[in-house]
Amino acid sequence: MSSIDRMYLLVARPVITEKGSTDQADRNAYHFRVPVDANKVEIRQAVERVFEVKVSSVNTLKVMGKARRRGWVAGQRPDWKKAMVTLAEGSTIDVL
Looking at residue 6, what is its pLDDT? 82
- Over residues 42-84, the pLDDT tens digits come to 999 999 999 999 999 999 999 999 999 999 999 999 999 999 9
Residue 4, H or E segment? helix 3-10
CA angle 61, 63, 66 (to 5 degrees): 170
- Over residues 5-49, the pLDDT tens digits come to 888 888 888 999 999 899 999 999 999 999 999 999 999 999 999
Residue 31, H or E segment? strand 29-34
SS3 63: strand
Could you give the C-alpha distances from 72 to 11, 75, 76, 77, in angstroms and in order? 37, 10, 13, 16
Which pTM does this prediction carry? 0.84
Kindly list the structural domains of the chain, giving each domain's residue range(s) and its CATH number in brackets, ordered by start.
3-87 (3.30.70.330)
Looking at residue 1, what is its pLDDT? 67
